[in-house]
């Protein structure tokens, strides 16, 4: 994994580092999330980067517990933008992220290919896929294209 350091200003000096102090955040590239990134394309360009930084912050790379907490708060504010997003929008981002994380890899790939924008669109796609499997007795060619070979064989033997 590639790693890089960035300097960020803490968003709220009152509960963060003293005003003007820089917070150093080490960011590791996350290839796994790339599968889900299309869901966040309608967000500002830096929002996905802030999400990755928030998720990949490593305690051992901070100057201690206070610095780690300060960095997490700063990155969380930059990612979720509570000054701009409603509580419902923030919850949707968090739930969608977790939902995509629990999906099997081949379904994550399928979701990425469709460039969906919210949880309801993802659910609709997956429910449609389930109906097609029930009707056809096998996965549609759309899914076979993204499935790894051993998984394909399992699904094809359901016929």
End residue of a domain, out of 56, 86, 116: 86
Distance CA(134)–CA(159), nearest Å, equals: 10
Domain shared by 19 and 53, yes or no: yes
**Mean pLDDT in order along the chain per 10 residues (159 residues):** 41 47 51 44 68 93 95 94 94 91 88 83 90 78 54 45
Domain shared by 35 and 76, yes or no: yes
Domain shared by 139 and 62, yes or no: no
How much is the pLDDT for 57? 95
How much is the pLDDT for 157? 46
Task: Judge contact between 96 and 118, C-beta under 8 A.
Answer: yes
**DSSP-derived 3-state class of residue 27:** strand
Whether residue 94 is contained in a domain is answered as: no
- Number of Cβ within 10 Å of residue 20's Cβ equals 8
Of 108, 113, 105, 110, nearest in space to 150 by CA: 105
Helices (H), the chain: 45-56, 65-80, 87-102, 105-114, 119-136, 141-144, 149-156
Whether residue 95 is contained in a domain is answered as: no
Domain shared by 26 and 51, yes or no: yes
Question: What tokens appear for 73 in the block?
Answer: 């708060």
Domain shared by 81 and 19, yes or no: yes
Whether residue 98 is contained in a domain is answered as: no
Question: What tokens appear for 15 in the block?
Answer: 């509960």
Number of domains comprising the chain: 2
Q: Is 112 exposed, middle or buried (0-12, 13-18, 19+ CB in 10 A)?
A: middle
How much is the pLDDT for 112? 81
How much is the pLDDT for 115? 77
Domain shared by 76 and 111, yes or no: no
Domain shared by 17 and 74, yes or no: yes
Kindly report the CATH number assigned to the domain that includes residue 46: 1.10.4020
Task: Judge contact between 80 and 90, C-beta under 8 A.
Answer: yes
- pTM for the model: 0.56
How much is the pLDDT for 34? 44
Domain shared by 110 and 82, yes or no: no
Question: What tokens appear for 83 in the block?
Answer: 């000054």
Whether residue 140 is contained in a domain is answered as: yes
End residue of a domain, out of 86, 119, 145: 86
> Residue 44 sits in which domain range?
1-86
How much is the pLDDT for 137? 78
How much is the pLDDT for 43? 53
Whether residue 97 is contained in a domain is answered as: no
Domain shared by 77 and 120, yes or no: no
Whether residue 58 is contained in a domain is answered as: yes
Of 143, 127, 135, nearest in space to 159 by CA: 135
């Amino acid at each position: 994994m590639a790693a890089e350091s960035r300097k960020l200003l803490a968003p709220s000096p009152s509960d963060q580092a003293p005003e003007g102090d820089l917070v150093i955040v080490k960011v590791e590239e996350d290839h796994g999330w790339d599968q889900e990134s299309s869901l966040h394309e309608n967000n500002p360009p830096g929002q996905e980067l802030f999400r990755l930084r928030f998720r990949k912050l490593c305690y051992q790379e901070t100057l201690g517990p206070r610095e780690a907490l300060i960095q997490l708060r700063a990155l969380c504010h930059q990612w979720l933008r509570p000054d701009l997003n409603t509580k419902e929008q923030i919850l949707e981002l968090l739930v969608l992220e977790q939902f995509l994380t629990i999906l099997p890899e081949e379904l994550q790939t399928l979701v990425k290919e469709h460039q969906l924008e919210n949880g309801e669109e993802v659910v609709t796609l997956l429910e449609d896929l389930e109906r097609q499997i029930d009707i056809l007795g096998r996965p549609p060619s759309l899914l076979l294209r993204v499935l790894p070979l051993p998984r394909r064989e399992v699904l094809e033997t359901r016929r």
